[in-house]
A and B are shown apart, each in its own frame.
Chain A
Amino acid sequence: MPTTTIAGRTLDVNEEGFMTNPEQWDEALGAELAKLIGVDMTEAHWAPIRFLRSDFAVQHETPTLRRVSTQAGIPVKDLFALFPGKPAKKMAYVAGLPKPKGCV
């Protein structure tokens, strides 16, 4: 299992760089991860990230954009504005969670 060092911390990651151990994450680290992909975290950014973390704790799966929009009440359009381009993957990266599974 590869590891990497971000903000002085050693983290377990997969070959793409996504964290594989959600326990190693806290919000300070989340802010560092966000910087690495060019996102400056604001309260608006934290709302979906906090939802991702709490939903993952229960479902053991990273929620899809639809799930974030219906369960956390944040429109998909807003998620694209906050995390441009690929919000589902970017949010998962910042939240220290696996990429949401594209169902086969």
Chain B
Amino acid sequence: MTETASKRLLVLGAGTAGTMVANKVLHKLPDWSVTVIDRDDVHDYQPGYLFIPFGMNTPKQIRKTSSHFVDSKANLVFGELTKIDPHAQSVALSDGRSFEYDYLVIATGTTPRPDQTPGMLGDEWHRSVGEFYTYEGSVSLSRRLADMTSGKLVVHICELPIKCPVAPLEFAFLADDFFRRKGVRDAIDITFVTPLDGAFTKPVASRELGALLEQKNIHVEPDFMVESIDQEAHLLMSYDGREVPYDQLVTVPVNMGADVIAASGLGDELNYVPVDKHTMRSTEFDTIFALGDAGNLPTSKAGSVAHFSVEVWLDNFIDLVSGKPMSEAFDGHANCFVETGNGKALLLDFNYETEPLTGTFPLPKVGPMHLLRESKANHAGKLAFRHIYWHALLPGRPLGLPAAMSMSGKEVPPAVETVTKPNIPTF
């Protein structure tokens, strides 16, 4: 046991990061007082939202109670957060309760905000204007897709960053597979509308994923910044005057951090807490950390990032409360399975410095997983992860996956030839 004065840790949010933090801290610092505050007692396995519309997970498999997963030694509180006072080191709830802390972990995640795009909310919300980033949205889409036999399906990203940035691509791939199995794929157009200039942000992954989209006859509408949605005309409209018609829209609304972060003056323009990218410590307040999707780390907002960064954070936190300098640095490691349909998936493994590359994972040549290439083993890995999540990850058991990314098995592309006379960029 580590020798530290027993203190109070307050954790905002009982999602992936918050639950792991509470459980891991109480394991290492059993004398600490740990309080976890969440809005309600619901914990969803969020990667399952992608599978529900296609009947690959049932709603029951992905929804459980939070209290079941948070260490019973923690004080689990339900309520609406209204204000964080970083100077007084206290947090207020809408019902008048307040909680003081010695250290605060903000793990309030990121939330889809359909109110940010004119015309998105309205009578057709969760009908012809669908989404799969909430439980309700996902369940309603399963009914919509089951009934769809022809027309235009448009999968759309409003703005980055979003939680799990590969999920919209996966949705398009799974929809292709779903309609193919139903025998109606020929009668359904699938279009992928993105604010990026290609399938993905990074060159190698964009090339590989772009090729898959083409192969599956999914049309890409790039550089599309949505201005509004016309629910009556069934049109998606961009700032530069383009219109994309749809029969069924599957949009990913603007994602934003929690309102309490904005109300407390702790966030950037999207309510994310500015943090040091290696320690997840607030750049403003030494007693505040933001973990999971709540901070502004320049890597994917994803469960794997929450997982790896919490492990690094824990080692640092033990250092810190023992009066030592924090010795670990998070590298931005993300590890994401990308469902591509037909019982296959590919795998992305990357960090701040290294973009997703091709190769094998975790071992050179033998894998068994393939990076950026479709395989059944990758798909099996993705499906199995739900069990690992509930039974090992949330309780804080070690998974045997190193937090730091490894270059082992990765194929490094040759350096780009030096351009002596660069062109003027094409826009």
Residues of A within 8 A of B (CB): 1-2, 4, 13-18, 36-37, 64-67, 70-71, 76-77, 80, 84-86, 89-90, 93, 101-104
Contact = CB atoms under 8 A, between A and B. Distances in A.
* Interface of chain B, main secondary structure: loop
Given A2-B419, A17-B422, A85-B427, A71 B239 contact: no
B425 interface: yes
B299 interface: yes
Q: Which of A71, A93, A104: most chain B Cβ within 10 A?
A: A104
B295 to A, nearest CB: 12
B239 to A, nearest CB: 4
Nearest to A90: B427
Given A86-B223, A103-B298, A66 B425 contact: no
Contact of A15 (B270, B299, B422): B422
24 contacts: A2-B419, A15-B416, A15-B422, A16-B422, A16-B423, A17-B423, A37-B424, A64-B269, A67-B269, A71-B269, A80-B240, A85-B223, A93-B425, A93-B427, A102-B201, A103-B160, A103-B161, A103-B301, A104-B165, A104-B200, A104-B201, A104-B202, A104-B300, A104-B355
A13 B239 contact: no
Interface string B181-220: 0000000000000001000111000000000000000000
Query: In the complex, which range does the number of interface residues on chain B fall in?
Result: 20 to 34
B308 to A, nearest CB: 14
Contacts of B355: 104
A98 to B, nearest CB: 12
B350 interface: yes
A36 B425 CA distance: 10
Contact of B239 (A14, A66, A76): A76
B269 A77 contact: no
